[in-house]
Structure 1
Amino acid sequence: MALAQNGMAMHGAAWFALEQTAGKGQRGKTWKTEPGQNIILSVLLDTSRLAVSAQFRLSMAVALAVHDFYSKYALDDTRIKWPNDIYWRDRKAGGILIENVLKGNIWQWAVAGMGININQVVFDAAIKNPVSLKQITGKNFDTPALAQELCSFLEQRFQQLHENDTDALLQAYNERLFKRGEKVKLHKDAIAFECIIDHVDEMGRLWLRDSIYPYVEFGEVRWDLAS
């Protein structure tokens, strides 16, 4: 982020960390990981040719790239939990945090931070329902090599984004949407309600069926996956 802000950035530059002491998640949450066991990767993306309004489209592209990568090893049970967590069955396999550098109405850079569980098998008790590739497959993996492979998937999806192939991205995202067509319980403010997950639109809104709300925005709800 400092390189981007100081004009020293290069598109596609990637930073792989063996250990992270101040990991960030969505909405101010922390991201904890065992040293050397997982992918902790930040990739700098040149977004200057994208409209500021395309921020959710970038989020979709990054989520699809991580899904492409993870499902290669974990197979068909991999899903994208709105807006951009990676789940295997009902367990969290990874998360994504995108930070942006804006100058006026120009979206100069985005830093896509990806934390993905690879070899870790013992997790902090505060982490709900985590899972790693090792737990799924029984195998150990070379995490830096997998991070390089993930970068290739990310470049493919980023190019698709630049080709303005929004419909294809959105279709692919919804096809991989966690709990789509299933009844779930969500919490909004102090209200708990049941609904059926329908789809996500290009603005990033999650549309629902059989619900007191037709749709919800990111940050408005939390999931009750124990129900």
Structure 2
Amino acid sequence: MARIYRLGELAEITPSPSSDQFEGLDEGLSGTPVISPGDIIDGKIAEQSLLRNLKAVPGSLMRFRVEPGDLVMVRQGAVGRIALVEERSRGWLYHFACMRIHPDRRRVEPGYLIAYLSHPKVLDQLIARANVGTVTTVTARMVEELPVALPLLAEQRLLAAAVAEVDAQMDNHRQALARLGALRPALITHLLGGEVPGERLPMPAVAPGTVRRVARGPRPRRLS
């Protein structure tokens, strides 16, 4: 039977670094990638090529590097969005709008913990604790106080494996839908010989502030 713990008893919660330490973030390929809220999608971190980078990492930011098994949670804005850090993201930094959850691997399986924290009812609890203002925000203390139902470690691993299989199936379906979405207009183009009528015609220039009117045929006569 699962026991109930505070999240702070099962993991080290590291607050976000100061925002002024991220000056100079750019989209170049050199430097250390920084995980921002928008880089966390469906429980995963985006590819390195899509992340912004910090060219020079000050010593004060070294303790904010992530390692595999860590969880990165959005603490500001899209509160509760969360991702599990994989090997490919080792050594990356996390944005000041996020926080890091470092599980005690002797007690809690990271795959189970992210599945638990992603549960809609757990997210509801987190948002209920949040500071609601111009931007919704949670603190490390609020996250530490979240209750976590913890089964035996062997059961956690079984649950994590089952959730991972469901996630893999969902990814397959998303990819299939994306391919079908691209195929649909391509079929029309192919059937029309590779070109949609009028697509190469230049659009007439329109003066700023004017509204383009669509040409219409004569109005039908009203029957008496």
TM-score (norm 2): 0.32
Structure number with the bigger relative contact order (C-alpha 8 A, sep ≥ 6) is 2
Report the structure, 1 or 2, having the larger strand content. 1
State which structure, 1 or 2, has the greater radius of gyration over its C-alpha atoms.
2
TM, length-normalised to structure 1 = 0.31
